[in-house]
Structure 1
Amino acid sequence: MKEEIKLFGFLLLLLMFNVNIPQKINVLRGSCVNIPCSFDVDNTHDKNLDNSCKAYWSDSSSFTSENAKLKPTKEMTGDLTKKDCTTTFNNTRLLQSAKYYFRLECNNPLKFSFTQAGVDISLIAAPPSPTLTPSTLEVEEGASVSLTCSSPAPCWSHPPALTWSPNLGQSQETLQENQDKTKVKTSVMNFNASHLHHGNKISCTAVYQKQDGIPDVTAETSLTPDISYSPKNVTVSVSPSGPVPENRNVTLTCSSNANPAVENYTWYSADGNQDTFIGTGMDLSIKVSKDRRILFCKAGNEIGVGRSSSIQIEVQCKYHILHLFNIFSIHI
């Protein structure tokens, strides 16, 4: 019966005295860290929250102000009279990877260690890679794209600087607060998808400043966009090239860039304002004639159709030797 009474009393105490702190914070060595913290006390102790109150932190759940590992000054701590125990450590060399607990002590009966919850501090040598949202990009050309890059900001006064490469459009940075009161730096870049972006890496880099004289450290995340687009740069090549004797066969080849791949090629002869269909396929074999037709091709996929410039095959003229002699004689 006594044990049940003790347990009930302990649970009642937890209801009257509670602390809200993050479960875990990754801290970059050589930088600062902010531990968001708020607490509540039994309302009978509200009058004891005065300027004499001090904050203490320790990696032991059993500690007092005398054996506390960390004794923040007022400049490092939030307004304890308003139940704000947010603490800033500018020198993380005072910290070690451990679970830390908060204790409140005032020059009055209000003294309490909030050991029901602690924050896991993990000292890391390199920052985590930024998070890209979405993590993959598959859109059609012309679509409006919004990419978000986010990186944790354990040191609120020196959040990471986020940069895009390449910078494809306007970007906006904000320092946002998570549900557990920790903060994250975000950058949103907006642009319109182009076929020029297809297959070219887009990366976001986070640059963290350190306070111990060590050079800045960076972390990067990237994605490779898959942009669907209609055929571009449709061109026609002729083999053999150059002036071709009349009645000689030549091969025309239509080529282009497209995603997805070209599904069909069609060939046309242009006569004034009228286009005449003459064949299909990437390659077209025709016999050269002196009528010097104007030709072009079209390439199509599920997105659309692209058209080449018009070409005219140069015909090599044949002159009989006697005919050339007669012309020469006339001019003499």
Structure 2
Amino acid sequence: MFEFPRYITALQGSCVHIPCTYTHPEGAKDFNFFWYSKRLKIFNNKTRSDVDDMYKGRTFLTGNTENDCSIKIINISSKYDKNEYFPGINAEINSNELQNKKVSLFVSEYPPKPSIKGNKHMKEKQKVNITCSVEHTCPSSPPTLTWNITGYPILESHEDLQLNGGWRMESILTYTSSITDDKTGLKCAAVFPNYKTSVKTFTLNIRYRPMNVIISVDGNTDTAEDEDVTLLCSSQANPPVDNYTWYQISQGEKFLQGYGDKITVKNTTKGKYFCVAANEMGTNKSPVFKFSEKQKDPTKVYVGIGITMGLVFILVPIVVFFIYRRKRKTVLKMKSAEQIAQEAIAMDDHVYGNIDQQQGNIPRPSFSELQDSSPIYNNTDADQSIFISQPKEELFVDSDGVLYSLLHLPVSGQVQPMPATSAHTEYATIQH
């Protein structure tokens, strides 16, 4: 009689160990032991070469007792190894002929997922054991189990499931709960010999009393003195807070103000409040809250300064520009007056002017009259006349009838006498 599992699943690329026992036939001595796939021999106890080519070097008898007929197949392939197998002594004495019994081998491309057992609901700082396990079919190359947290003791074990088929790898983590791990995922990963990995996640549920209890202003924080303000009490807790209780401190004593996560009070610097949060794990209270004196919002001050500086940077260049333009116009006017006086001066410092009697309506003088104190005008423009003072003895006439005179030129349109050393010689033609 033969005993072995009826179904077993192996991972592709790994190995499979098929457990088997049998009852030794009475009087049987020195016989061969075989494993068959249909009618093909996949294992021969005495003649190793007497097996099908696809299984040569891949099948081994692993039993170490007289009645152990367990076999191992390595390098499992879904193409060749997904089949039915049975053991026997010969073609007549085997489990298929005697018991109509065979083992069906399935091949999976995906590794089995590990399972995690342990108490998911625990108190803060509670020490618990959490076990991660995974089944496999290759005891000679078992998978490795790893956790996503470190710093905790770990104990590993390897269990033979015997005739149930397969083995079980276990990793036991001794974990001390912390509120920082609440609602986080504790992960166990199984890495198999073919480098394929499967992961199981275990969500932690750490129960603790309210923590980080604080009071804040709900809604508009910019309120005037003695206006109504809503205060909000909040905290972190698991399970959630059942109730909030409010107290006011006055003259060193506390007075009950109300219940719930919100309360409406007057905005006054004399008001001091605190709240108490409670759940089934315990209670905790907030720091004392008090209103501060109203102060100018620094943000608004900075904005005002920024606007002022911006206007300064814009207006200063404009003012400078207009001042510059005004000064430039004054300079240009002065320069124009000088140019009007100097336009008649040639490059050799001699000025030639034609005095036209009709332009200036000047009486035509005789030569004898030029020697008296009568003034001489050079008019090219009725509006721009140059007054020439008395010519005195410097006047003379050449053979062509041209009158020469030594003139003192005014500066910038102003009629002022000039030193003799700076005099310029001017030539004028008197048209009769």
- The corresponding residue for 2:255 is 276
Name the CA shift for 1:183/1:286 in 2 (closer, same or farther; >3 Å): same
Deviates more, 1:89-98 or 1:56-65: 56-65
Q: d(CA) in 2 for partners of 1:204 and 1:272?
A: 57
| 1:38-88 CA-partner distances (Å, limit 9, x unpaired) | 22213433xx2x5xx544222227979698658777992135662222222
2:205 to 212, 226, 229: 226
Structure 2 residue aligned with 1:92 = 76
Residues 308 and 102 (structure 1), Cα distance of their counterparts in 2 relative to 1, 3 Å cut:
same
User: What TM-score does the superposition give when structure 1 sets the normalisation length?
Assistant: 0.72
- Tell whether 2:10 aligns with 1:27: yes
Contact 1:22 1:182 (C-alpha < 8 Å) held by counterparts: no
280, 296, 303: which one aligns with 2:274: 296
Mapped partners of 1:164, 1:197: distance in 2? 14
In structure 1, give the amino acid aligned to 2:5. P
- Cα RMSD over matched residues? 3.4
Alignment partner, residue 234 of structure 2:
255
Alignment of 1:27-66 (within 5 A): 27-45=10-28, 48=29, 53-60=31-38
- The answer to whether residue 294 in structure 2 is matched with residue 309 in structure 1 is no
Query: Is 1:137–2:120 an aligned residue pair?
Result: yes
Deviations 1:253-307 (A, max 9, x none): 10012233222111223469754333222112222344353x2211112222122
Return the match for 1:266 from 245, 252, 275: 245
- In 1, the alpha carbon distance for the partners of 2:81 and 2:245 equals 70
Residue 177 of structure 1: CA displacement?
1.6
Structure of higher RCO (CA pairs closer than 8 Å, 6+ residues apart): 1
Aligned counterparts of 1:259 and 1:100: Cα–Cα separation in 2: 55
Alpha carbons of structure 1 residues 267 and 24: separation in structure 2 relative to 1, 3 Å: same
CA contact (8 A) 2:132 2:171 kept: yes
Which residue among 77, 81, 86 is the counterpart of 1:101? 86
Contact 2:10/2:108 (<8 A) preserved: yes
Counterpart CA distance in 2 for 1:229 and 1:56 is 63
Match of 2:191 in 1: 207
- Seen in structure 2, the aligned counterparts of structure 1 residues 43 and 241 have a Cα distance that, compared at 3 Å, is same
Cα distance in structure 2, aligned partners of 1:271 and 1:72:
92
Q: Check the 8 A contact 1:235/1:255 in 2, yes or no.
A: yes
Deviation at 1:157, TM superposition (A): 1.6
Q: State the match for 1:321 in structure 2.
A: none
Query: 2:217 maps to what in 1?
Result: 238
Of 21-30 and 89-98, the range deviating more from structure 2: 89-98
SS in structure 1 at match of 2:180: helix
**How far off its partner does 1:159 sit?**
0.8
Mapped to 2, the partners of 1:257 and 1:160 lie a distance apart of 40
Amino acid paired to 1:282: D
* Unmatched segments (≥5 aa) in structure 2: 296-432
Q: 1:119 offset after TM fit, Å?
A: 2.0
Verify the 8 A CA contact 2:269 2:290 in the aligned structure 1. Answer: no
Aligned pairs for 1:142-153 (under 5 A) are 142-153=125-136
Task: Tell me the alpha carbon deviations over residues 137-167 of structure 1, each in whole angstroms, 9 at most, x when there is no partner.
Answer: 2344444332222111211121111122244
- Residue 183 (structure 1) shift: 0.9
What are the ranges of 5 or more consecutive residues in structure 1 without an aligned counterpart? 1-17, 211-215, 318-332
Write out per-residue CA displacement over residues 87-128 of structure 1, whole angstroms, 9 at most, x where no aligned residue: 2222324952122101236xxxx9832333322211111112
Which residue matches 1:329?
none
Shift, 1:208, TM fit: 0.8
Q: Within 5 A, what are the aligned runs for 1:147-226?
A: 147-167=130-150, 169-180=152-163, 182-210=166-194, 216-226=195-205
69-78 or 152-161: which moved more? 69-78
Larger of the two Rg values belongs to structure: 2
Once residues 184 and 258 of structure 2 are traced to their aligned partners in structure 1, the CA distance between those partners, rounded to angstroms, is 35
Contact 2:206 2:238 in 1 (8 A): yes
Residue identity matched to 1:96: D
Instruction: Give the Cα separation in 2 of the matches to 1:20 and 1:298.
Output: 68
Q: Which residue matches 2:93? A: 112
Query: CA 1:274–1:103 in 2, change beyond 3 Å: closer, same or farther?
Result: farther
Q: Which amino acid is 1:33 matched to?
A: V
- Number of equivalent positions: 283
**Cα offsets for 1:190-244 (capped at 9, x unmatched):** 213333333222222111112xxxxx111122232333332222111135548x7
Q: 1:179/1:56 Cα in 2 relative to 1: closer, same or farther (>3 Å)?
A: closer
Question: Contact 2:269/2:291 (CA < 8 Å) preserved in 1?
Answer: no
**C-alpha contact (below 8 Å) 1:55/1:77 kept by paired residues:** no
Secondary structure of 1:82 counterpart:
coil
Helix, strand or coil at the partner of 1:145: strand
Structure (1 or 2) with the greater strand fraction: 1
